Amino acid sequence: MARATAALSLAVAAAAALLGPRSAAAPASGGPSATVSELRAPGGRTRPVPAHPQTDASLTPMVRFRLEQGFAIARRQLGSERSCAALFGRLGVSGTDALARTLYVSGGEVGACVRQAPAFTCLGCRRTVLCPSFSELGASAAAAILLHEALHLAGLPERPASVGAMTSSDITRMVEASCDL
């Protein structure tokens, strides 16, 4: 497990090197976004993560319930697991800021939700879409998905959209190992 975690951590470092010091791309939909520079904590400090995630009214009660559970775990792990926070630090971003700035919305039966993805976002986008299948995850798996999507806000690309990047499964495994989920 340690060898796999080290290999995945190197992949994140390589992705950070490829990205360089740049702002993340704006979302294709024109929705809210945050650039990497906006996520950097002033003076290296991190702002506290709010107790509850930012949402809109579109989430179903079941998805909202799982989101609250996953968010609480993700928040705790960012504060207690150095290797978890380091995933974001390698990208020059505070993990707590990325998690706090994310706006969670319902995906219904659109986009990646049709393919049974639990959630999706675009590189640098503040908005994360939660699909109906997100409610079927366990609390720890939900936390891993929230952190996975927050890494995209922080600037971590994903294959196949970015050649040479990690796959979605690789990113989730890295989060699970680094964040003890």
d(CA 49, CA 141): 19
Banded pLDDT at 61 (limits 50, 70, 90): very high
Asked whether residue 122 carries a pLDDT value surpassing 50, the answer given is: yes
Mean pLDDT of 62-69: 96
Lowest mean pLDDT among 16-20, 23-27, 101-105, 140-144: 23-27
Percent pLDDT > 70 in the chain is 72
CATH number at residue 70: 3.40.390
> If you average pLDDT over residues 105-118, what whole number do you get?
83
User: What is the tally of structural domains in the chain?
Assistant: 1
Q: Residue 77, SS3?
A: helix
What is the mean pLDDT of the segment spanning 46-53?
A: 68
pLDDT tens sequence across 15-47: 444 334 333 333 333 334 444 444 444 455 555
Smallest CA-to-CA distance from 70 within 49, 89, 86 is with 49
| CA neighbor of 135 nearest in space, from 100, 173, 106, 167 | 106
Residue 95 makes CB contacts below 8 A (sequence gap 6+) with: 46, 78, 84, 85, 87, 88, 89, 147, 150, 154
Q: What domain range is 8 assigned to?
A: 2-178
Do 88 and 164 meet the contact criterion of CB atoms below 8 Å apart? no
- pLDDT at residue 68, as a whole number: 95
Q: For position 114, what pLDDT does the model report?
A: 79
Helix, strand or coil, per DSSP, at residue 19: helix
User: What pLDDT shows up at residue 88?
Assistant: 95
